[in-house]
Amino acid sequence: MQVANYLGLIRRAETHLAEAFEKVGHEHALEIDVLQMCKLFASWSKDHAENIKLLIEKYGEKKDDEAKDLFAAVIETRMGALGMLRDLQGLWLMASEVEMCYIILNQAAQALGDKELEMSCRQFGTFTHRQKAWLLTKIKHSASQTLVVAQS
């Protein structure tokens, strides 16, 4: 059984996503909505990572640095409006990886008949979907202003 692989991956992915939200929020703190939402989203991801430990007690955890390597390549905070747009895009990509892991784990939970794992994947996946939805809205709102309006 390979569930431990994905539990390890999702725990570390949520941890890295929380760190990335905190980093981006801090870097773009002048954008109050970005600061506040990044703090909120970081707290959600931290909570998920902590709660996944309960499932790890049942199935174990395979440890590797796949999530760290992926997220290190995606997130690198940058300055200015264009930097914020790229940072938000990086967060969206990271959240997409987390969401996909929950989808995969949910399929395994259904195959195993594990209602606790299934409920956790659905609940945490819903929060991740909300993170992605806000990020996409913010990206769409920022893109035209950032890319088209001349910088003075």
Confidence at residue 62, expressed as pLDDT on a 0 to 100 scale:
86
Domain ranges in the chain are: 3-143
Give the whole-angstrom CA distance, residue 104 versus residue 9.
11
Would you say 24 and 38 are in contact if contact means Cβ atoms under 8 Å apart? yes
Would you say 38 and 17 are in contact if contact means Cβ atoms under 8 Å apart? no
**Which residue numbers in the chain have pLDDT < 50?**
152
Confidence at residue 73, expressed as pLDDT on a 0 to 100 scale:
62
pTM of the model: 0.90
The CATH number fitting domain 3-143, selected from 1.20.1260.10, 3.40.50.1000, 3.20.20.70, 3.40.47.10: 1.20.1260.10
